[in-house]
Amino acid sequence: MKITSVDSFFIGIPYEHGAPKPVLPTADGRTTQDAVYVRVETDAGIVGWGEAFGFGACRMSHLAIQRVVAPLAVGRDPTDIPTLMTDLFRRTHGMSRNGPVAYALSGLDIALWDIAGKIAGKPVHALLGDTKKQRIPAYASLIRLDTPEYVRRVSATAISRGFRHIKLHEREVATVAAARETIGPDVALMLDTNCTWDFRRAREMCDLLRPYNLTWLEEPVYPPDDFESLARLRRDSGTRIAAGENLGNLMDARHAFATGALDIAQPDLAKMGGITEIWKLIGEARAAGVEVEPHSPLFGPALIATLHVIAAVPEDILCEFYFADLEANPLGPMASPKDGFFAIPNGPGLGLSVDESLLSKYRID
Ligand SMILES: [Mg+2]
């Protein structure tokens, strides 16, 4: 079997009228929810779908698929995933250890797993393991809201939709206090600061945040790969530290584990090598005694791939759900949890069908 084409679709979906919207646009000024879908076609007529990360990097990931990945992948055998992916990562090693080329290759890997499942007539999670799970709990990952009033309103909405785990993207104690007051003591609350503090400030904030009983504190320091500071913060404060969405590859993860930086690793399969690499990372995290909660604030095939990975592992893992209402989704309702849970996709491959008319409608270029 041969790959005959690798196509990229850069789309931007507007938020539904009246839904919570991000306070800040992305780095390139966009305020829609953007995504990069990858479509891989084979000479056997089988089509696989993937997704490359994401947010402000979409345009670069889109270009990387078109200019770097597609020319290298067309003509190759899609059925031997380790050989193909290892070869492409090696040939691009000067630009694929992290960043948009790694994201583009991740999108290809996900599409290859979709193809593998379709050939086998099995869902991807069955290729990885033997799931005992009936459904997957989701956590509501709130967009950055910035004021206690806004946090109260959106937290209450998440609770009313059945979520029992809520993550904030805030930076002030008052906003965390507002969320805890709204959701009560029994709902899990997490805080993601997106690398906002230096070590000293982060250490102070750990003490100030203690009354709000955070399940984890995510990416408290800049830069994200300052594993030594994270390890020191963990040790000195006793706060449970989560990070890993900015890991570029498995070697980064090994370094983080060896440094003692993490209670919880948060790899993103749309960034660090697709299903192939996240599966290796989960095994190494297990051996290192580090929990895994994948990063997946996405709405496309990478979110569905994350559900397959979570379905296949024995551990209880939450799936991150970016809590924002979009006016449409090319994957339909499977990309949204119901009453706080995602259904496990059981069709062959990723088990998704893409409404390509919506890819056309929302296409940016
Ligand atoms: Mg995060």
pLDDT at 60: 97
Q: Tens digit of pLDDT for each residue in 273-296?
A: 999 999 999 999 999 999 999 999
CA–centroid distance for 91 within its chain: 25
Q: What is the CA(343)–ligand 1 centre distance, in A?
A: 23
Question: Which two structure tokens, joined as six digits, stand for 252?
Answer: 């980064």
Same domain, 103 and 209: no
Q: How far away, in angstroms, is 10 Cα from ligand 1 center?
A: 22
The answer to the question of residue 362 being in a domain is no
Residues 135 and 115 grouped into a single domain: no
261 and 147 in a single domain? The answer is yes
Task: Report helix, strand or coil for 309.
Answer: helix
Q: What is the mean pLDDT of residues 266-271?
A: 98
Q: Is residue 351 situated within a structural domain?
A: no
Q: Are residues 105 and 133 in the same domain?
A: no
In the prediction, which pLDDT does 25 show? 47
Q: Identify the sign of the CA torsion 165, 170, 176, 182.
A: negative
CB 72 within 8 A of CB 47: no
CA distance 101 to 69: 8
Last residue of a domain, one of 121, 136, 171: 121
In whole angstroms, give the CA distance from residue 143 to residue 24: 10
Interval between CA 216 and ligand 1 midpoint (Å): 11
196 plus 322 within the same structural domain: yes
What is the average per-residue pLDDT within 208-234?
A: 98
Looking up residue 101, the CATH number of its domain turns out to be: 3.30.390.10
Q: What pLDDT, in 10s, does the model give residues 94-112? A: 999 999 999 999 999 999 9
Give the pLDDT band of residue 16 (cuts 50, 70, 90). Answer: confident
CA of 292 to the centre of ligand 1 (A): 13
Structural domain contains residue 334: yes
**322 domain residue, yes or no:** yes
Torsion of Cα atoms, 188 then 163 then 34 then 55, to 10°: 0
What spacing in Å lies between the alpha carbon of 261 and ligand 1's midpoint?
15
Asked if residue 304 has pLDDT above 60, the reply is yes
Does residue 321 belong to any structural domain of this protein? yes
Task: State what percent of residues in the chain have pLDDT above 70.
Answer: 96
Ligand 1 center to residue 194 CA distance, Å?
6
Span from the CA of 357 to the centroid of ligand 1 (angstroms): 31
Domain count, the chain: 2
Q: Which domain does 110 fall in, by range?
A: 3-121
Do residues 150 and 236 both lie within one domain?
Answer: yes
Task: Write down which residue in 92, 121, 150 finishes a domain.
Answer: 121
Q: What confidence score (pLDDT) does residue 20 get?
A: 59
Claim to verify: residue 90 and residue 158 sit in the same structural domain: no
Average pLDDT estimate for 201-230: 98
Same domain, 24 and 101: yes
Q: The CATH number of the domain where 328 resides is what?
A: 3.20.20.120
- List CB contacts of 333: < 8 A, sequence separation 6 or more: none
Q: Is 38 helix (H, G, I), strand (E, B) or coil?
A: strand
In-domain check, residue 65: yes
Output the pTM of the full model. Answer: 0.97
Distances (CA, A) of 268 to 12, 243, 296: 20, 11, 6
In a domain, 207, yes or no: yes
Domain end call among 121, 148, 170: 121
One domain for residues 154 and 116: no
Average per-residue pLDDT for the chain: 95
Query: Is 162 inside any structural domain?
Result: yes
d(CA 192, ligand 1 centre) in Å: 5
Q: Say if residue 167 is in the same domain as residue 233.
A: yes
pLDDT attached to residue 222? 98
Could you report the per-residue pLDDT of 69-94, keeping only the tens digit for each? 999 999 999 999 999 999 999 999 99
- 307 in the same domain as 162: yes
Same domain for 134 and 11: no
The amino acid sitting at 37 is: Y
